[in-house]
Chains A and B, each alone.
Chain A
Amino acid sequence: MSSLHNIKHRINNVATTRKIMKAMDMVSAAKLHKARARLDGARPIFTEIKNVIDDLKYCEEVRDNVYVAQREVKNTAYIVITSDKGLCGSYNKNISEAVLAHMKGKNEKILVVGIKGSEFFRRRDKNVIRRITDISETQMYEGTGRMAERIRHMYLSGEVDEVYVAYTRFETTLKYAPCVEKILPISDDGEDSGIRYRGMKYEPDANTFINELIPLYLHMYFFAAHSESVACEHAARMVNMESADKNATEIIDDLTLMYNRKRQAVITQEINEIVSGANILK
């Protein structure tokens, strides 16, 4: 009987956990919806600014501008965007490992967003110079603005010589791509294959223009990257909770089957005992 009782207990346990998963799934779905709305807002302005920056690469006047010229690389800054909470599958691991592979042979200075990424790099004794955790999503816009200013000062003061940002790009709810992209200096690195427009004039002049544009560019880069990552985090969690829910249902089915078999076995045994008892009395 005790084993029957145990199985019943396990079924109840799994059922309670499944309820929690269902709730988390629903919460993630709602958050994903919000995150996607924000992402849809952030993408167009970012793409447009990126185009302007790509055009600027061909402008002779700005070759020696501090944001454009390549300099000898002593320190490399990485901004890595991960999540604070787990239960989202390989989302944090994928992006952290992509960065780890990328920074081989570089003198890294890491600014990490999210507890998960921060733990990952601490365990591997990497040079994390700043941890940004527990950000509320309503604070994201201002927060990325402050981060852009900080990075700009670090770059101008020579504390770092190049800047990379690592985030997870949202493609569909089931598909995300971790990317590590170079944002500063903006010199032509041959990655851009499209035919660019070369006849652009700049007001008041190209150097002033670029100095005005860079703060906005960095801010929008971080804002878009963060929006992409947050959408991926919620999508990953939602998908994981869905499959966890499926697994829990399977476990409950298996346990219920086992429970019924045991119950029948007990009943059969009882009948057997009664019948054989009655036979003896005959």
Chain B
Amino acid sequence: MGDVMGGKKVHLQIFTPRGLKIEEKADMLVMRCIDGDMGVLPGHAAVSAALGDGILRIINNSRTEQKIAVFGGVAVVKDDLVRIMTTIAQRPGEIDLPRAEADRRQAELLLQERSEDVKIQSYQVMLRRALVRIEVSVYPQEDED
């Protein structure tokens, strides 16, 4: 894949309220938007997308990939530069796995009970985030099929 692109890469910048947190070069990015995944290769058209809770995959040499947990925010793609503005972006090493597991169990328990819609929504968010964290943390890297 890298040969086809002629060595061109996508430049990724992730901004959080603590500043420019992550800066990477990648052959391809796959990010979770609110209505599904979006892949970005070099030469992508200018687009702004709203992000959901999910995993951002940074793929290099079409073999290895890094995963980053990103919760909400927006992504702006322009001239092979991808800027992501989000409140939370975590690398696998930054995730507290026992806490994510605990969150997951608690959210699953709470969801079994009957409660108001607003609460159910917040438990669903909690569960979704816990699952994303667990996945990023347990499978930080994997080879593509």
Output the nearest chain B residue to A201 by Cβ-Cβ distance.
B47
Q: Quick check: B33 and A203 within 8 Å, CB to CB?
A: yes
Q: Quick check: A202 and B17 within 8 Å, CB to CB?
A: no
Q: List 11 A-B contacts (CB under 8 A).
A: A44-B20, A45-B85, A48-B85, A49-B85, A197-B78, A200-B48, A203-B33, A204-B35, A212-B34, A213-B74, A216-B87
Give which listed residue, B45, B47, B50, B76, contacts A212 with CB less than 8 A.
B50
Give which listed residue, B16, B34, B46, contacts A200 with CB less than 8 A.
B46
Output the nearest chain A residue to B14 by Cβ-Cβ distance.
A45
Which A residues are in CB contact (< 8 Å) with B38?
203
Q: Mark B50-83, 1 if CB is under 8 A from A, else 0.
A: 1000000000000000000000111010100001
* 3 tightest A-B CB contacts, nearest first: A203-B49, A212-B50, A41-B19
- Does A220 touch B at the CB level, under 8 Å? yes
Which B residues are in CB contact (< 8 Å) with A212?
34, 50, 72, 74
Taking Cβ atoms with an 8 Å cutoff, the residues of B that contact A are 15-20, 33-35, 38, 45-50, 72-74, 76, 78, 83, 85, 87
Is chain A's binding surface mostly helix, strand, loop or mixed?
helix
Which A residues are in CB contact (< 8 Å) with B16?
41, 45
- Does A183 touch B at the CB level, under 8 Å? no
Task: Tell me, rounded to whole Å, the shortest Cβ–Cβ distance linking B17 to chain A.
Answer: 6
Q: Quick check: A52 and B34 within 8 Å, CB to CB?
A: no
How many residues on the A side are at the interface (Cβ–Cβ under 8 A)?
25
Q: Mark A51-65, 1 if CB is under 8 A from B, else 0.
A: 010010000000000
Output the nearest chain A residue to B15 by Cβ-Cβ distance.
A45
Which A residues are in CB contact (< 8 Å) with B34?
204, 208, 212
Give which listed residue, A40, A44, A209, contacts B48 with CB less than 8 A.
A209
Task: Tell me, rounded to whole Å, the shortest Cβ–Cβ distance linking B142 to chain A.
Answer: 26
Task: Tell me, rounded to whole Å, the shortest Cβ–Cβ distance linking A148 to chain B.
Answer: 11
Interface centre among A49, A203, A223 (most CB of B within 10 A): A203
A209 to B83 Cα, complex, angstroms: 15
- Does A15 touch B at the CB level, under 8 Å? no
Q: Quick check: B46 and A199 within 8 Å, CB to CB?
A: yes
Task: Tell me, rounded to whole Å, the shortest Cβ–Cβ distance linking A1 to chain B.
Answer: 64
- Does A154 touch B at the CB level, under 8 Å? no
Give which listed residue, A44, A203, A204, A209, contacts B15 with CB less than 8 A.
A44
Q: Quick check: A55 and B48 within 8 Å, CB to CB?
A: yes
- Does A115 touch B at the CB level, under 8 Å? no
A213 to B50 Cα, complex, angstroms: 7
Output the nearest chain A residue to B19 by Cβ-Cβ distance.
A41
Q: Mark A35-53, 1 if CB is under 8 A from B, else 0.
A: 0000011101100110010
Output the nearest chain B residue to A56 by Cβ-Cβ distance.
B48
Task: Tell me, rounded to whole Å, the shortest Cβ–Cβ distance linking B41 to chain A.
Answer: 16
Q: Quick check: B50 and A208 within 8 Å, CB to CB?
A: yes
- Does A259 touch B at the CB level, under 8 Å? no
A212 to B53 Cα, complex, angstroms: 12
